[in-house]
Amino acid sequence: MNLILLGAPGAGKGTQAELLTKKLGIPAISTGNMLREAMRNETEVGQKAKNYMDNGLLVPDDVIIGIVGERVAQPDCANGFILDGVPRTVAQADALEKAGVKIDHVVSIEIDDNVIEARMTGRRVCSKCGESYHIVANPPKAEGICDDCGGELVIRKDDAPETVQRRLAVYHEETEALKGYYERLDKLRLVQGNQPIEEANREILRVIGA
Ligand code: ADP
Ligand code: ADP
Ligand code: ZN
């Protein structure tokens, strides 16, 4: 099963992608995590992405299409995958189509803009594996340490309130149109994001028929 998770920054895409990976046994592909890793390793992709990411803007489509194309061709994606945070533009969606990547369901995690700031100020992410936590809604077992890999939890630079506002505006201007795009293909499934994590997960499993 090939899935796409759509939603505003902070909607819960990364959190749900991790849960779905465990339950469905297919990998989660987060372009945000891939780009942050590329930045840490100072690769060419990382250098191209840095300024856009730090300023809450989208990284150019050609960079994204390149890294996603390579990733979905890996053998562990043969039985399915979960795309978290990609596509984010119509050009990226068209590129997936053109590459022959078949999509079964597009789950849009719906959330109001006014809930997002509280989520972002409490978000902590693992500096090693990218896993997402929240100091109140989803705390790690030991403060500041990733449950999964023991990595140090950090605050993302682009979770600063001004940058979050920019990212939200970018979502409404460039990404939200994908809901109509996938609706026309009869693949769009809406899920309420403003409910406890496990309940949102059950709703996702239901709408994808898993
Ligand atoms: P969130 O879901 O909280 O917005 P992500 O980790 O998905 O965060 O993305 C963080 C940043 O990485 C984005 O603001 C953007 O700069 C870049 N990015 C991630 N995925 C894409 C993509 N598919 N297209 C363009 N830029 C992307
Ligand atoms: P995204 O990948 O869409 O940007 P995340 O999964 O990183 O979003 O979630 C953003 C923040 O909100 C994180 O701190 C996460 O722990 C928290 N969070 C995710 N889902 C929920 C939820 N259903 N209720 C409350 N907080 C949540
Ligand atoms: Zn970790």
Contact 57, 68 (CB under 8 A): no
pLDDT for 133 equals 97
Return the ligand number nearest the Cα of 127: 3
pLDDT single digits (tens) 56-107: 999 999 999 999 999 999 999 999 999 999 999 999 999 999 999 999 999 9
What are φ and ψ of residue 129, in 5° steps? -110, -10
pLDDT (mean) for 191-199: 97
CA-based nearest residue to 158, from 61, 64, 50, 68: 50
pLDDT (mean) for 155-172: 96
Return the ligand number nearest the Cα of 175: 1
pLDDT for 158 equals 95
CA-based nearest residue to 191, from 1, 16, 9, 2: 16
- Supply the residues annotated as catalytic: 13, 88, 123, 156, 167
What is the chain's mean pLDDT, rounded? 96
**Ligand 1 centroid from CA 126, angstroms:** 16
82 forms beta bridges with 3, 28
Using the predicted structure, report yes or no on whether residue 210 has a pLDDT greater than 90: no
Local structure of 107: helix, strand or coil: strand
Contact 107, 85 (CB under 8 A): no
Using the predicted structure, report yes or no on whether residue 120 has a pLDDT greater than 90: yes
Return the ligand number nearest the Cα of 132: 2
Using the predicted structure, report yes or no on whether residue 48 has a pLDDT greater than 90: yes
CA 46 to CA 190: how far, in whole Å? 33
Rounded to a whole number of angstroms, the distance between the first and last alpha carbons of the chain is 10
pLDDT (mean) for 38-48: 96
> Which residue has the CA at smallest separation from atom 14 of ligand 1?
56
pLDDT for 131 equals 95
pLDDT single digits (tens) 129-160: 999 999 999 999 999 999 999 999 999 999 99
Mutate to test the pocket of ligand 2, among 16, 82, 123 (most ligand atoms within 8 A of CB): 123
pLDDT for 128 equals 93
pLDDT (mean) for 174-190: 98
pLDDT for 43 equals 97
Percentages helix, strand, coil for the chain (3-state, rounded to 5) are: 50, 20, 35
**Ligand 2 centroid from CA 99, angstroms:** 31
CA 154 centroid distance within chain: 18
Using the predicted structure, report yes or no on whether residue 49 has a pLDDT greater than 90: yes
Q: Which atom of ligand 1 is nearest to the CA of 35?
A: 12
**Degrees, nearest 5: CA angle 127-35-25:** 75
Q: For the whole model, what pTM was predicted?
A: 0.96
pLDDT for 127 equals 94
Ligand 1 contact via 56 beta carbon (within 6 Å)? yes
pLDDT (mean) for 25-35: 97
